[in-house]
Amino acid sequence: MQECSQCTRKTPNRSCVDCDYFMSPGPLRRKPPVPIGISLVAADGKRYAGRILVLNTMELGLETQAPVPGQYRIYLQQHLSLDVAGVPTRGKGNIHLFDILAVYRGEETASRLGNEEYRLLTDSTGDFIEQVSQLVPAHLQELVKERLRAELESSEIFNAMRLGKVMRYEKGRFRHLTGQADLELPLPAIENLMRQAIDRGTHCREVIVSEDGKRIYDLHGIPLDSRAGGLVAFDLTEIIEKERQMRRQEMVAYREAVAAVTNGRLQLLTSEEMVAVLSQGKELARGVVNKAADIALARNKLCSLLPAAFSARAHGMALSLTEALTNTLKHATGGEWVVRQTDATIRIIIQDQGQGIKIKDLPKAALMRHYSTQNSLGCGFTLMLYYADKVYLTTGSRGTTLVLDFHQSAGEDKEICSPAS
């Protein structure tokens, strides 16, 4: 009975919301993503501001100046209200525990929060659903809520998305409804979006970058009638960074896997790492491939310029170039090639601007002799790995860069390169 009073004296700065005495621990004790602002209405009609800091299905941990003990009604949303009673022995300062006496939802009454109410309070999407539903006519609100819940519950990506702002636009003015009040959205951009949505009578969307270049917002304009609409702004910054982090982690995993199965002969590089590789050595020749005949020209050019020290490897080099350019022509409708030389290495570079290669297919392509997919390097990749001493690869949505290194060697691949017809 005295724990809270002792805590007040000995550790006044200790948080109540994490204290097991303040609210019993358990899987249903949750803290909302952000404290939920509420009003507590006393029997005499007097209102007290408050915030929900922690809750379970039978109790609320509130920050409020409402007198305790005492009974109050909390109106959470249009059709949801609670009767609560303060517990004088739990809490300190303005932090108090309140027992839930009754839950009113529409015409139904319960003694504790049901699953829907509990999720609404503990899930950050609850406020979003409620606010957006208020933007449509009353007879459509429940339908909109149901559809939004279904969409958001099935969307894993929404868990990483933070709601920036919900605003109402009418007669050239914006009114803030919920979200970050201090979020600075460029007025000309959001006004233009809302005018388009209202004029067209349909949903409009635009992705913009903040003026300082640090935040990315996904804006949605929703027309309500001929003069008004709603603006929903999502802050995509964290989710984009999370996706980038996942791609980086995925890249590291595949780099290690590919290097392992090829004994280090195939190296996956980032675009930044590839820049250094492309600039090394002296350029001997270059060309473009737009049609099948260009492949034969490239092969003949390579054979004609190879130094004598590389003659023993000419056949493998020409075959590798042919296979690489064939893939480029097939999957990217063309590209360019460059031949460079360092002291003891011939480097063949093939670049295209296609859709890129699926990294997940590379371990199989490296190990399985005839493995091929629509967007993979195909069977020719096995040959390239067989003949080349080192292969470097950078690939993405903007294209692919493939680098084949051949060291001068005597005693391998004695077949001399023959001109292609």
Query: Which tokens go with 191?
Result: 């006004």
Alpha-carbon 172 to chain mean position = 33
Instruction: Mark whether 394 and 262 lie in a shared domain.
Output: yes
The larger pLDDT score, comparing residue 106 to residue 220, is at 220
- Residue 417 forms part of a structural domain: no
Instruction: Mark whether 393 and 316 lie in a shared domain.
Output: yes
The larger pLDDT score, comparing residue 191 to residue 137, is at 191
CATH number at 148 reads: 3.30.450
Q: Is the pLDDT of residue 134 over 70?
A: no
Instruction: Mark whether 351 and 280 lie in a shared domain.
Output: yes
Q: Is the pLDDT of residue 38 over 50?
A: yes
- Residue 415 forms part of a structural domain: no
Report the range out of 7-11, 27-31, 199-203, 378-382 with the highest average pLDDT: 199-203
- Residue 419 forms part of a structural domain: no
Alpha carbons 234 and 164: distance in angstroms, whole number: 5
- Residue 314 forms part of a structural domain: yes
- Taking residues 70-90, report their average pLDDT: 85
Domain count of the chain?
A: 3
- Residue 416 forms part of a structural domain: no
Ramachandran angles phi, psi of 358, nearest 5°: -75, 115
pLDDT tens-digit map of 169-193: 888 888 877 666 656 788 888 899 9
The domain boundary residue, chosen from 184, 212, 235: 235
- Residue 418 forms part of a structural domain: no
Q: Are 194 and 203 in contact (CB under 8 A)?
A: no
Instruction: Mark whether 26 and 10 lie in a shared domain.
Output: yes
Instruction: Mark whether 225 and 299 lie in a shared domain.
Output: no
Identify the pLDDT of residue 412: 46
- Taking residues 265-269, report their average pLDDT: 88
Q: How far is CA 266 from CA 242, 251, 275, 385, in A?
A: 28, 14, 17, 8
CATH number at 65 reads: 2.40.10.220
Angle, in degrees to the nearest 10, between helices 314-332 and 380-387: 150
Instruction: Mark whether 222 and 134 lie in a shared domain.
Output: yes
The larger pLDDT score, comparing residue 65 to residue 246, is at 65
Q: Quick one: which of 348, 356, 292, 290 has its CA closest to 316? A: 348
Instruction: Mark whether 214 and 255 lie in a shared domain.
Output: no
Instruction: Mark whether 306 and 273 lie in a shared domain.
Output: yes
- Residue 170 forms part of a structural domain: yes
Q: Is the pLDDT of residue 111 over 70?
A: yes
Alpha carbons 13 and 32: distance in angstroms, whole number: 21
The domain boundary residue, chosen from 102, 122, 142: 122
Quote the longest CA-to-CA distance of the chain. 101
Instruction: Mark whether 179 and 37 lie in a shared domain.
Output: no
Instruction: Mark whether 297 and 403 lie in a shared domain.
Output: yes
CATH number at 393 reads: 3.30.565.10
Share of the chain above pLDDT 90, in %: 24
Instruction: Mark whether 153 and 222 lie in a shared domain.
Output: yes
pLDDT tens-digit map of 148-157: 555 544 443 3
Give me the residue label for tokens 């590389």: 310
Least confident of 22-36, 146-160, 404-418: 146-160
Q: What is the pTM of this model?
A: 0.48
Mean pLDDT of the chain: 79
Q: Is the pLDDT of residue 298 over 60?
A: yes
Identify the pLDDT of residue 179: 61
The domain boundary residue, chosen from 235, 270, 293: 235
- Residue 421 forms part of a structural domain: no
Q: Which domain, by its residues, includes 185?
A: 125-235
Alpha carbons 272 and 269: distance in angstroms, whole number: 8
Q: Is the pLDDT of residue 93 over 60?
A: yes
Identify the pLDDT of residue 118: 60
Instruction: Mark whether 284 and 384 lie in a shared domain.
Output: yes
